[in-house]
Amino acid sequence: MKIYDFLIIGAGSGGCNCAHYLQQRGLSVAIADKEGVASGGSGAAGAFLSPLAGVQNSYNRFINSALEYSLEFYEKMTPNSIVKKGVLRVENNNFNSAKLQTNSIKNHYISAKELQEISQNFTQIDGYFYENAAILNPHEVCQELIKECDFYNYNVKELKYEDGLYIFDDFKAKNIILAQGVIKSIVETPYIKIAPIFGVKIDVKTTTKVPFNIHKSISVSTNKKDSTISIGATKERHDTSEMECLTSCDKCAFYVNNEQGQVEELLKDARELIKLEDVKVTKVYRGARATIKSYFPVIGKVIDYEQSLKKYPSIKNGTKIPPELLTYFENLYIINALGSRGFVVAPMLAKLLCEEILDSKKVPQELSNEKLFYKMARTKVST
Ligand SMILES: Cc1cc2nc3c(=O)[nH]c(=O)nc-3n(C[C@H](O)[C@H](O)[C@H](O)COP(=O)(O)OP(=O)(O)OC[C@H]3O[C@@H](n4cnc5c(N)ncnc54)[C@H](O)[C@@H]3O)c2cc1C
């Protein structure tokens, strides 16, 4: 029976980037997904690579450095799956013009008149242009990342660990990385409270040339290599962060009955930015992205919540127990909560996580699951 160094559970942006990194480091890697490659949030993603504007803080610093890293990474790795023509950010409720101007990322203002000179299809909008932005083909990228790994179309329901190995029907693995997105985790991680945020993307054939990506509350892409454009938005949040996804969005009763309305809304919002001619919707994708309250993604070795608290119950009262004394699941790691920029952050997160595993380099505090563990353990006592 084949023994892999790593099994990655979930073939989305998070899992595929980890698989690629580990395989490049000479390890044997298998990746399993119950639905197929890029079938979750990653398949529905724009997938726009865009900067995060605003006064510098730890979060947008993280996003913008991940963007630099990922643009270079994808341009080298999958040059045929990336179109880099920049993005026009149009003011909206979250990003007013003050916020769009006040940041460390190079940009320039384009007036409505100048936009008309670029293309008469633009409506009366103006905005801020950021050169360092692109769009990817998420399916092609994920496939390319794992082309040297073994793929199993397999629903991993539980983990069986014996004599230093995780055991499955057809193979064994020394290490596991959970990259499950919004789907219910197969191990208990109550301190990672994933909130699924649902979104829709459509691929559209049009004779209109869209010179660059446009973002407002929705995103309209420039024409991709096959000349189609993508229009996407994530808006709908499940009403509780306690809700766990047990299936993909395409099968979820919460969404399936509303496709026509979702598509029409996207086209209407897109036409408020640019006139689109001879429109034919060729494909609709639905998916949910995983977000947690702090917005930062989560990577690292997985802490066993129950056992750690059993061992050190005084953590609940605020006693400082260093992370190295906590109990961790054996050879089990996680990458999740990639948020609204999963394709932007995944290459860098994969590198950071795998360097922690292989080279004992600590992951930055703001990305670690330890912070979430302590937070939950300490707040539980006062509630
Ligand atoms: C509509 C939409 C638009 C988006 N737009 C952008 C964008 O423009 N730019 C950007 O960077 N990001 C965007 N995102 C966010 C980005 O797509 C996500 O953050 C990222 O793709 C999440 O990747 P993931 O690997 O963590 O999860 P997913 O892609 O959801 O992958 C998880 C996979 O795990 C599998 N799985 C789960 N449990 C099991 C199990 N037990 N056994 C086997 N398989 C399992 C699932 O089938 C799934 O395929 C968007 C998201 C959505 C929904």
- 179-192 confidence digits (pLDDT tens): 999 999 999 999 99
Q: How far apart are CA 40 and CA 23, in angstroms?
A: 23
Residues 318-335 have a mean pLDDT of 95
Domain positions in the chain are 2-40+140-192+294-382, 48-138+194-289
Specify the pLDDT at position 244. 67
Cα(185) to ligand 1 centroid in Å equals 14
| Lowest mean pLDDT, pick from 45-54, 228-237, 302-311 | 228-237
DSSP 8-state secondary structure symbol assigned to residue 368: B
pLDDT, tens digit (0-9, with 9 covering 90-100), for 9-59: 999 999 999 999 999 999 999 999 999 999 999 999 999 999 998 888 999
Specify the pLDDT at position 211. 98
Specify the pLDDT at position 251. 75
Q: Which residues contact 190 (CB under 8 A, 6 or more apart)?
A: 305, 376
Phi, psi dihedral angles at 28 (to 5 degrees): -90, 130
Asked whether 201 and 230 are in contact (CB, 8 A), the reply is yes
Query: One-letter amino acid identity for 290?
Result: A
Q: Is the CB of 14 under 6 A from ligand 1?
A: yes
Show contacts of 239-248: CB within 8 Å, 24+ apart: 241/193, 241/194, 241/195, 241/293, 242/193, 243/195, 243/196, 244/183, 244/184, 244/194, 245/182, 245/183, 245/184, 245/196, 245/288, 246/183, 246/184, 248/35, 248/39, 248/40, 248/287
Point out which residues pair with 171 in neighbouring strands. 2
Is the pLDDT at 298 greater than 50? The verdict is yes
Specify the pLDDT at position 142. 98
| Lowest mean pLDDT, pick from 68-77, 156-165, 202-211, 237-246 | 237-246
Task: Specify the CATH superfamily of domain 48-138+194-289.
Answer: D-Amino Acid Oxidase, subunit A, domain 2 (3.30.9.10)
Q: Is the CB of 27 under 6 A from ligand 1?
A: no
Measuring from atom 51 of ligand 1, which residue has the nearest CA?
45
Query: For the chain, how big is the Rg over CA atoms in Å?
Result: 21
DSSP 8-state secondary structure symbol assigned to residue 110: E
Q: How far apart are CA 254 and CA 232, in angstroms?
A: 19
Specify the pLDDT at position 383. 42
Measuring from atom 2 of ligand 1, which residue has the nearest CA?
45
27-36, 90-99, 190-199, 290-299: which has the highest mean pLDDT? 27-36
Q: What is the mean pLDDT of the chain?
A: 92
Residues 141-145 have a mean pLDDT of 98
Return the best residue to mutate from 17, 37, 42, 153 for the ligand 1 pocket (most ligand atoms within 8 A of CB).
Answer: 42
Phi, psi dihedral angles at 200 (to 5 degrees): -130, 145
Q: Is the CB of 180 under 6 A from ligand 1?
A: yes
Strand, helix or coil for residue 19: helix
Q: How far apart are CA 286 and CA 258, in angstroms?
A: 11
Residues 168-195 have a mean pLDDT of 95
Q: How far apart are CA 197 and CA 195, in angstroms?
A: 6
Is the pLDDT at 256 greater than 80? The verdict is no
Is the pLDDT at 151 greater than 90? The verdict is yes
Is the pLDDT at 167 greater than 70? The verdict is yes
Specify the pLDDT at position 382. 45
CA-closest candidate to residue 158, choices 338, 349, 329, 368? 329
CATH level 3 topology of 2-40+140-192+294-382 = FAD/NAD(P)-binding domain (3.50.50)
Asked whether 25 and 175 are in contact (CB, 8 A), the reply is no
Cα(142) to ligand 1 centroid in Å equals 11
Q: What percent of the chain has pLDDT over 70?
A: 95
Asked whether 125 and 90 are in contact (CB, 8 A), the reply is yes
Q: How far apart are CA 114 and CA 60, in angstroms?
A: 29
User: And the tokens for 239?
Assistant: 């009403």
Strand, helix or coil for residue 31: strand
Return the best residue to mutate from 230, 340, 344, 349 for the ligand 1 pocket (most ligand atoms within 8 A of CB).
Answer: 340
Q: Is the CB of 196 under 6 A from ligand 1?
A: no
pLDDT, tens digit (0-9, with 9 covering 90-100), for 216-232: 989 999 999 999 999 99
Q: Is the CB of 142 under 6 A from ligand 1?
A: no
Q: How far apart are CA 347 and CA 266, in angstroms?
A: 29
Q: How far apart are CA 112 and CA 103, in angstroms?
A: 22
DSSP 8-state secondary structure symbol assigned to residue 140: H
Point out which residues pair with 231 in neighbouring strands. 202, 220
Q: Is the CB of 215 under 6 A from ligand 1?
A: no
Is the pLDDT at 381 greater than 60? The verdict is no
DSSP code string of 192-261: S--EEEEEEEEEEE-S----SEEESSSEEPPP-TTS-EEEEEEEEEPS-TT--B-S-GGG-TTTGGGHHH
User: And the tokens for 298?
Assistant: 């989560």
Cα(86) to ligand 1 centroid in Å equals 24
